[in-house]
Amino acid sequence: MIVASLLLILVAVVLLVVGLAGGSSVLLAASIAASLLAAIALVVGARQAAASRAAAARVDPDATEERRPPAGRARRVGANFPAGPDIPVQRASAPIDADDTGWRQPPGSPVAGANPDGAAAGKAAVPADEPPALRVSPADAALVAELDAEVQVVDGRPRYHLADCAHLYGREPEPLPVAEAVRLGFTPCARCAPDDALLADARPR
């Protein structure tokens, strides 16, 4: 259509020159008509070109690739991109007793599903300087979970300790009832063995 409009413009110019030279009003009218047709053809051609460019952009893989997130980059939480099978989205649960400013839930030690070293599957590993967890029988663990005796916990650490535990040196421990510590997912320290001492005090002599 653009080529046709250019040809019509050329015809209109020729008719205008010949009409002016010969003083023919018919040729002048034909020149005006050819100019109008050229303008219409130009508008139609421009719209067709714009439509073809838009269609090419919709099917162009390079254009759509720019709008996709990189395959190797994790999506932000709350982004508009759906989580693909190759990039799992981590959903963190709210800490227990979040209103209490004295301590937080220990990392990697939820109330349920903790393994003996105090870390759950998929959670962060226990710090390298953290003592191992004391292995306690299920019956003894159930008894400890009912005691009111105080133990010491350190913010962000998964173990609970006796007050004289060497691991607490240089740290800022906070007292907590052992039943509460167990409910929050803390596990006993193997270095000071708080469960052994608490059960020995709780059993009748």
Report how far residue 71's alpha carbon sits from residue 155's, in angstroms, rounded to the nearest whole number.
37
- Structure confidence at residue 12 (pLDDT): 73
Do 202 and 178 touch, CB atoms closer than 8 A?
Answer: no
- Structure confidence at residue 116 (pLDDT): 47
- Structure confidence at residue 162 (pLDDT): 95
- Structure confidence at residue 187 (pLDDT): 94
- The CA-to-CA distance between both ends of the chain, in Å, stands at 106
- Structure confidence at residue 39 (pLDDT): 80
Helix, strand, coil tally for the chain in percent (to 5): 45, 10, 50
- Structure confidence at residue 21 (pLDDT): 86
Is residue 85 packed enough to be buried (19+ CB in 10 Å), middle (13-18) or exposed (0-12)? exposed
The domains of the chain are located at: 2-67, 104-205
Phi (first) and psi of residue 17, to 5 degrees: -65, -45
Tell me the mean pLDDT per 10 residues along the chain, length 205. Answer: 73 81 83 82 79 74 50 46 50 46 49 44 67 91 91 93 92 93 93 92 74
Type of residue found at 71: A
Type of residue found at 147: L
**Residue 152, SS3 per DSSP:** strand
- Structure confidence at residue 126 (pLDDT): 76
